[in-house]
Amino acid sequence: MQSTARPAPAATIAFCDVLSDDGTRLRAWTNDPEGRIEGPTVLLCNGLGTNPLVWPALLEPDCGVRVVSWNHRGTGGSDRPTDPEACGVDELVEDALSVMDHFGLDKAVVMGWSIGVNTMFQLAVDHPERVSALLAVAGVPGDTFATMLGPLRLPRVAARAVTVNLSKVVKLAGRAITPVTTRLPIGDRTIAVLSHSGFMFPVADPQLTAAAVKEFLSTPIDWYFHMALTTAQHRRVPLSRVGVPCVFVAGRWDVLAGARHMATAAERVADGTYVELPGSHFVQMEHPDEVHRQLLDLVARVSDEKVA
């Protein structure tokens, strides 16, 4: 019998409700509920439908940064929007701004993972006065589905066609699949299999990963893929309009955000740095210390530039 996933470290995460501009209630969160972390505040634009547990380094009390973020519409206690189509990247940007305003952030270093990279780059283009630097983890600045299946080196058009059509099929089957996925026993054995599948590689904290996967699977499959297909409409961001330091951290064998696409994006921004780690799309769970070091280095660099 599989061991059960350990509970979320509730003492290090605090949740609150935030209203986005269109009235959608969001479940926002921070890793510093008691205001004890000495360090700057960073805005996290998380992966689609994911939760705080996918960032083990940010849950450590000595992580050195206060993080604020939110759960996407219709996931993790956030409401679905009145208009079901209002869950694309434009709405994610509005949600990010609402969270920043709630926590009193005029400007911040912004980090993103997966579809959160789309969000943060669009935020930087639309509201450059709110962003001081960007850390992109396993994600590209737009047209995400065209960069999937990167290790197969498919043409962008083919990759987009395959992944979009597959997502449509899974969305249609979602209502039938959800009763199964929400009841799956997620424990050490599941994570051991998953982390040797090629989709994910061995993680630093299997028990925390199990809790993160269990929480992720609480979202109905049809709603998740509805959101995914809506965000798939987001086209590439004009990187010439991004004027802040950008660090791109890629997983070498990432099948959801091709490393070579991240490398070329880093080349197209004025101040871009590319870092490649031997991992998958879940690189911040596989190499949490190294990804966190990249964040701290970027935060320190921005702070030093302000002083200078």
Smallest CA-to-CA distance from 132 within 200, 42, 67, 12 is with 42
User: Is residue 160 scored above 90 in pLDDT?
Assistant: no
Say if residues 78 and 141 touch (Cβ distance below 8 Å).
no
The pLDDT score that the predictor gives to residue 180 is 87
User: Is residue 3 scored above 50 in pLDDT?
Assistant: no
Percent of all residues in the chain with a pLDDT value above 90, rounded to a whole number: 70
CA–CA gap between residue 211 and residue 193 (Å, rounded): 15
The pLDDT score that the predictor gives to residue 61 is 85
pLDDT tens digit sequence for 198-212: 889 999 999 999 999
Using the CB atoms, write b or e for 113-152: b if 16+ within 10 Å. bbbbbbbbbbbbbeeeebbbbbbbbbbbbbbbbbbbbbee
- Place 4 in a pLDDT band, splitting at 50, 70 and 90: very low
Q: Give the 3-state secondary structure of the chain.
A: CCCECCCCCHHHCEEEEEECCCCCEEEEEECCCCCCCCCCEEEEECCCCCCHHHCHHHHCCCCCCEEEEEECCCCCCCCCCCCCCCCCHHHHHHHHHHHHHHCCCCCEEEEEECHHHHHHHHHHHHCHHHEEEEEEECCCCCCHHHHCCHHHCCCHHHHHHHHHHHHHHHHHHHHHHHHHHCCCCCEHHHHHHHCCCCCCCCCCCHHHHHHHHHHHCCCCHHHHHHHHHHHCCCCCCCHHHCCCCEEEEEECCCCCCCHHHHHHHHHHCCCEEEEEECCCCCHHHHCHHHHHHHHHHHHHHHHHHHHC
Enter the tokens of residue 188.
């050490």
The residue that leads in pLDDT, 33 or 191, is: 191
pLDDT tens digit sequence for 282-301: 999 999 999 999 999 999 99
Task: For residues 165-190, give the mean pLDDT.
Answer: 83
CA–CA gap between residue 182 and residue 69 (Å, rounded): 24
Residue matched to tokens 């026993």: 185
Enter the tokens of residue 159.
């990759």
Task: For residues 99-118, give the mean pLDDT.
Answer: 96
Output 71-74 pairs: Cβ under 8 A, ≥24 positions apart. Answer: 71/26, 71/27, 71/28, 71/29, 71/46, 72/46, 72/48, 72/227, 73/24, 73/26, 73/227, 74/219, 74/223, 74/227
User: Is residue 97 scored above 90 in pLDDT?
Assistant: yes
- Place 2 in a pLDDT band, splitting at 50, 70 and 90: very low
CA–CA gap between residue 14 and residue 110 (Å, rounded): 19
The pLDDT score that the predictor gives to residue 175 is 83
pLDDT tens digit sequence for 30-67: 999 888 888 899 999 999 999 999 999 999 988 999 99
User: Is residue 5 scored above 60 in pLDDT?
Assistant: no
